Structure 1
Amino acid sequence: MIKKAGDVLYRLILQRLASIVGILLVVTIGTFVLIKLSPIDPVSMKFNLVGATPDPVVVAQIREQLGLNDPWWQQYLRWLGQIVQGDFGESILYALPVATILGGALPNTLGLVSLALVMGIAVTIPLGIVSAKYQDSWIDHGIRLVTFLALAIPGFWVGLLLLYLFGVKLQLVSVTNTNGFSAYVLPAVTLALWICGLYIRRLRNAILEVSRQPFVEGARALGLPEWMVYTRYIFPHVGLMLLPMMGVTMGAMLGGSAVIETVFSIKGIGYMMVQGIMARDYVLMQGYIIWITMVFIVINIIIDVLSVWLNPKRRAAIKGGSYE
């Protein structure tokens, strides 16, 4: 059975890797076209960033040297060839390779997202259980109201409020500190609130749905302790129900943390993207889009493989319904 499960996973991974090529091709074409439609001239912008007045003759010469006067399809193929080799170009703003900039910033974003996930899970699981246990009570309604507010309130507003409260009023954290573990606490709390708002209600509904299944009612009828019912029967099935959503959530957090990173001056990939947009650094913007797409795809492949590995029904579906 283990060998058959391994064959299914191997086939799934090959299918997902094959799909990456098509996805990245579409993303690169869309990114390239959008940037080309922009009226920004990257050569003139580079002069403007250093406070120099661009000479039209010099600009024309540099454009010719860089191949910016070539047909768009030639420029795209040349750019795509560079990406395949790991060369995302040189940032106009920082005068450094885009891969170096994003590679240095990615650990900051991953650290922030990981801490936020730990905080969010630590709050979501107990509140989800309590909300399901006291279904339709005032406790349940109160928790659901909190989750609604957590999703409705903009993240940047929550971040600024936390900075003002804990940094200015209570002076428990330094507003100017952007290094060390303490610098990640408030932005992680801001992201964790969004996670709680997203998952507490879903966890509650999943627990209620699984609790109505005959095998759970049978376990309770046998007199098993409630903690054993949850750990052996409810949580494994709830995890399978929520696992596919985790990939989308993690990708959304990695790609959507730009506002939080900017508010708290965390120099992650989102922060770098915002700086690139403000400076009209189209090379950095292109690289960011490709990077975040690849990270999103990899995360979802990992989540998909885990879902299939843990769920025999999905393995059977991939094998054509011949699970044994």
Structure 2
Amino acid sequence: MNVYIKHRFLLLLPVLLGITFFTFVLMQLPADDTVDMMYKASGAVSETVKAAARAELGLDRPLLVRYLDWLLAVCSGDMGRSYISGTPVTALFVAKLQPTLYLTALALLLTACISVPLGIVAALRHNRCCDHLIRCCAFLGNSLPGFFIALLLLYCFALKLNFFTVLGGSGFGGLLLPALALAIPMSAKYIRHIRSNILEEINRDYVAGALVRGIPKATVFRRFILRSLGSTLITLLSLSVGSLLGGTAIIEMIFMIDGIGKMAMDAILMRDYPVVQAYVVWTALIFTCVNLVTDLLLHQLEPQARQFTKGGGW
């Protein structure tokens, strides 16, 4: 396991280098750079002024030189300063991280509260009316785009019923609608996985053997079948945590939540390269670390995974 962890961290370095370099190159493709975006609202500005601004920001240097300078600064702990606000990128990230963390935690909590009971009920009422209804709702929730669900929730609960503020709410009430907009499509996917996992376990030989030996159905379900859901839920939650902590840009833009996703969208539109690069590094680190933690948890929960790790498969 120690060798596996070291191997994963070694693989992280080329992945981060490749992602950051290609992102840095892609940010240079648009015709308008940061200086053009800064002076767009000011009307006509001479090219001399723009050239001086580019020289001050270091945008007149070759692309590879700028990337290497940024990479060396990041290795020393300096993420640079925002071209637009002049704020240190690290401080900017810390300020924007808290709303995203709260939104992620609430969305995951709602997802678990919705998907686990409905998935269990659908499996236990297999091919009955309740099962068909839950599967139909899950299919609908999985088909609708996230921004449409967000707008529908705003229209119903904020505009019509006036239960919540439309935009910019703070606290639990301000995060409940965006968290629900994230939880509904995730719950739709979770329900299908949980249902299929339980049905697969119910049809296994060990369940039939336990029932033949007189063990009550409730005991078999609680001690064996529900325990098998652990690895499935961990895998699903790990994928969701990575995407949510990376910043759910569309939902944050719709509900005007000042989090990581909205900050990244604003930085991309304004060609704020240091902020975009820091966001890319953050997202790559989140997904890699979450996947590593997930693999370690599965290693502890599943003997098959432990044997696979010893065999060098990972």
TM-score (norm 2): 0.91
Which residue of structure 2 lines up, in the alignment, with residue 3 of structure 1?
none
- Write out aligned runs for 1:286-301 (5 A): 286-301=277-292
Divergent runs of 4+, >4 A: none
Q: How much has 1:288 moved relative to structure 2?
A: 1.6
Residues 1:212 and 1:60: Cα distance change in structure 2 (over 3 Å): same
Q: Is contact 1:246-1:303 (8 Å) kept?
A: no
SS of corresponding position for 1:290 = helix
Aligned-residue offset at 1:256: 5.8
> What CA deviation, in whole Å up to 9, does each residue of 1:258-277 have, x standing for no partner?
11111111111111122223
Q: What is the match of residue 155 of structure 1?
A: 146
Residue 274 (structure 1) aligns with = 265
Alignment correspondent of 2:34:
42
Report the counterpart of residue 73 of structure 2 in structure 1: 82
Q: Report the counterpart of residue 252 of structure 1 in structure 2.
A: 243
Select between 110-119 and 212-221 the one with higher mean Cα deviation: 212-221
Query: Who is 1:215 aligned against?
Result: 206
- Amino acid of the structure 1 residue aligned with 2:310: K
Matching of residues 58-207 of structure 1 within 5 Å: 58-207=49-198
Q: Residue 314 of structure 1 aligns with which residue?
A: 305
How far is 1:66 from its partner? 3.9
SS of the aligned residue for 2:18 comes to helix
Distance across 2 between alignment mates of 1:287 and 1:52: 30
Q: Please list, as runs of the form range in 1=range in 2, the aligned pairs for 1:218-229 lying within 5 A after superposition.
A: 218-229=209-220
* 8 Å contact kept, 1:206–1:238: yes
Partner Cα separation in structure 2 for residue 222 and residue 85 of structure 1: 64
* Identical columns (%): 37
Which whole-Å CA distance do the structure 2 matches of 1:67 and 1:157 have between them? 41
Deviations 1:258-300 (A, max 9, x none): 1111111111111112222333433322222221121121111
Instruction: Report the CA distance between 1:150 and its aligned residue.
Output: 0.5
Contact 1:128-1:201 within 8 A present in 2 as well? yes
Could you tell me which residue of structure 2 aligns to residue 20 of structure 1?
12
User: CA separation in 1, counterparts of 2:130 and 2:297?
Assistant: 34
Read off the aligned partner of 1:196 and give its amino acid letter.
S
What amino acid is the match of 1:314?
A
Please provide the CA RMSD for this pair: 2.1
Contact in 2 for aligned 1:91/1:281 (Cα 8 Å): yes
After superposition, the C-alpha distances for 1:205-259 in whole angstroms (9 at most, x for unaligned) are 0111111222222223333343332232112222224433332222223346111
For these two proteins, the number of residue pairs brought into alignment is: 312
Larger displacement relative to structure 2 (100-109 or 51-60) = 51-60
Once the 2 structures are TM-superposed, how far is the Cα of residue 52 of structure 1 from its aligned partner? 6.5
Q: Distance in 2 between matches of 1:241 and 1:192?
A: 17
Q: Deviations over 1:10-33 (max 9, x none)?
A: 222212211111110110111111
Give the CA deviation at 1:177: 4.3
Partner Cα distance (1:296, 1:191) in 2: 18
Q: CA deviation at 1:149?
A: 0.7
Conserved 8 A contact 1:276-1:282: yes
Deviations 1:128-182 (A, max 9, x none): 1111112122221211111111011121121122112211221111224421111
Determine helix, strand or coil for the equivalent of 2:258: coil
d(CA) in 2 for partners of 1:249, 1:240: 14
- Whether the 8 Å contact between 1:261 and 1:268 is mirrored in structure 2 is yes
Q: In the alignment, residue 263 of structure 1 is paired with which amino acid?
A: I
Distance in 2, matches of 1:156 and 1:288, equals 22
Instruction: Flag structure 1 segments of 5+ consecutive residues without an equivalent.
Output: 1-7
Which among 252, 259, 262 is matched to residue 261 of structure 1? Answer: 252
Q: Secondary structure at the match of 1:36?
A: coil
Tell me the SS of whatever aligns to 2:171: coil
Say yes or no: does 1:235 pair with 2:214: no
1:12 touches 1:305 (CA, 8 Å); kept in 2?
no
Distance 1:281 1:109 in 2: 20
